[in-house]
Structure 1
């Protein structure tokens, strides 16, 4: 009788058997991002209503609730709800950063092909989401759909009137005509969200930022419900902050890539009148022999000329900074539409920035 002895295996071989790699979670079709701040009483209904609206939708969904430093136990309630709901992904920020940052945090971890947003106070109706998502899926000419609360359930003086004035002002200043910039119920294609970055209070101007990123926008009437639980986080001071933020967004949208146009324009508007006033005073001194040293016009002319020169210099410096910014970026300063294949004017695989011998051409 003969025996075949297998070659010995080292102890390391037994101890280092690789564990199977975890299977990556399937990417859902829709990611719903909701910023949460002290809404503990509304969370259970919010989660159930979103599930009821999207559970039957093909491709699945995920609900990302971003707790923006709540102090009423909203974070604990979200964790408890997520324990039995694998599609609920709570995210807790270290402190209260504001709605824009909370939305950006949700966008950063969203995995869906489409991304939707709504408020956590239940004034937006999650039942409107399927219709908006269906419109986005079936209409290739739309990249973003913004809700319009055409029958708002808020106080006329405290909310509706200031909002109406703000909407008209923002539409006029940004040339993006919407009835309701403040409605949080919106849906986007993923590529649009990836092109914008929110900070400060820019969540109010997402449609303008999306348009600047190449989005084609539609507006659809949606339901609006009165707040029944919790306390509103908005006050009349929000109107004044909107005006200040509007100045920033107009500058960013119109002059970000050509700052000399705004600074240089202001400089010329001040410097030219100042220079003409100085020439006039010089003529009075040389031709008519009149004293000009005590004239208020002399001081005004000098101030206007100096301020104009300062604005022009600021514009030149800004242009140089923008040149450094764009030349140092690893990617282009434009976006291509993913539904259009750009024509190719070269052989496949050839880099237009290289010579035939493979050397990179100098810029």
Structure 2
């Protein structure tokens, strides 16, 4: 079975066209499939549209989040509820074209990969505020993790089911898939896709996203491997650097402003990374989503 996971938040006008495209792409494969819409606290008519689709097609599944928790939590919920041995993900805004799914599924199976990731061409986004920062971030992620994916931010991806059930994804870390799942570089393939403009509505991203990307970039290396041990070492580093900052002010009077400031900055960075890694580790213990599946279309 193939599972397609789609987080949606206030996408009432985009859902039906996207649903029709997914069905048109997957039905010719002659395989069982399910389409899992994760309604992430929508306040428009998204819920009603989803129920109407479910009434006409039992392959549609609806997971209702208890509140708006963000894309990372919604993806995790869909991944953990997926029944298929192959799990695809995509955005609910229509920018990802489902027509590429058959090719990506074929690459996954024939190449023995763990993940096949979309690589967006001709992106319909601003050059300086989205595309250039994305290019820089992707190269940094590749250097840090060793997983050299050209477009980590592309939501159109296809996975083997066991890969997506490895971790709970805290807020913000979905931008670093597949590295956050711990896959190796040779386990990832890429398929070039044409990016499409958003059909209806507006983007949910804001300036806050820039800070979050930088914070997660600093943390991603520590997410890989023995996370609890790294968390303890980071906290110890923070304590040592925090003590050294005032100590250098007393021991090196000629250089005290610079030494003290340098240790203070390092201590702040260590604490920021420690807190973010602690948040990631807590997510594995507590989970990041609370959902209820809509079994009957008339369910409120």
Preserved contact between residue 68 and residue 92 of structure 1 (Cα < 8 Å): yes
Matched, 1:200 2:164: no
Aligned partners of 2:5 and 2:37 also within 8 Å:
yes
Higher relative contact order, structure no. (Cα contacts within 8 Å, ≥ 6 residues apart): 2
Unaligned 5+ runs, structure 2: 272-284, 286-300
Picking from 105, 115, 120, the partner of 1:144 is 115
> TM-score scaled by structure 1?
0.65
Equivalents in 2 of 1:273, 1:159: separation in Å?
37
Over residues 24-45 of structure 1, what are the superposed CA-to-partner deviations in whole Å (9 max), with x where a residue is unaligned?
Answer: xxxxx10000000111011110
Does 2:3 match 1:46? no
Does the 8 Å contact 2:5/2:36 carry over to 1?
A: yes
Helix, strand or coil at the partner of 1:56: helix
Query: What residue number does 2:253 align with?
Result: 296
Per the normalisation by structure 2, the TM-score is 0.77
1:121 corresponds to which residue? 93
Q: How does 1:223-234 map to 2 (within 5 A)?
A: 223-234=194-205
CA contact (8 A) 2:147 2:184 kept: no
- For residues 295 and 206 of structure 1, the distance between their equivalents in structure 2, rounded to whole angstroms, comes to 45
Structure 1 position 173, deviation (Å) = 2.3
Structure 2 equivalent of residue 36 of structure 1: 8
1:179 counterpart residue number: 150
Provide the C-alpha distance between the structure 1 equivalents of 2:35 and 2:209, rounded to a whole number of angstroms.
Answer: 28
Mapped pair 1:237 → 2:208: yes
What is the rounded CA distance, in whole Å, between the counterparts of 2:236 and 2:69 in structure 1? 36
Q: 1:110 aligns with which of 73, 77, 82?
A: 82
Are residue 160 (structure 1) and residue 131 (structure 2) matched?
yes
Instruction: Specify the SS of the correspondent of 1:243.
Output: helix
More strand by share: 2
* Alignment partner of 1:251 is 2:222: yes
Give 5+ residue unaligned stretches, structure 1.
Answer: 1-28, 279-292, 315-328, 330-363
Structure 1 or 2: more helix by fraction: 2
Q: Give yes or no for contact 1:166–1:239 (8 Å, CA) kept in 2.
A: no
Q: Secondary structure of 2:28's match?
A: coil
Question: Residues 296 and 90 from structure 1, CA distance in 2 versus in 1: closer, same or farther, beyond 3 angstroms?
Answer: same
Deviation (angstroms), 1:167: 1.5
8 Å contact from structure 1 (residues 118, 124) kept in 2: yes
Tell me how far 1:207 sits from its aligned partner: 1.0
Whether the aligned pair in 2 keeps the contact of 1:100 and 1:198 (CA below 8 Å) is yes
SS in 1 for 2:43: coil
- Tell me, yes or no, if the aligned pair for 1:37 and 1:69 is still in contact at 8 Å: yes
RMSD of Structure 2 on Structure 1 (CA): 3.5
Contact 1:143 1:215 in 2 (8 A): no
Q: Which residue of 1 aligns with 2:280?
A: none
Q: CA deviation at 1:77?
A: 0.7
Q: CA deviation at 1:66?
A: 0.5
Greater gyration radius: 1
Partner SS state of residue 182, structure 2: helix
**Shift of the alpha carbon at 1:235?**
2.7
Counterpart Cα distance in 2 of 1:209 and 1:104: 12
**How far, CA to CA, are the matches of 2:253 and 2:135 in structure 1?**
45
Superposed CA offset, 1:230-254 (max 9, x none)? 1111234312210011222222225
Decide whether the 8 Å contact of 1:42 with 1:121 is kept in 2: yes
Contact 2:152 2:175 in 1 (8 A): yes
Kept after mapping to 2: 8 A contact 1:153/1:224:
yes
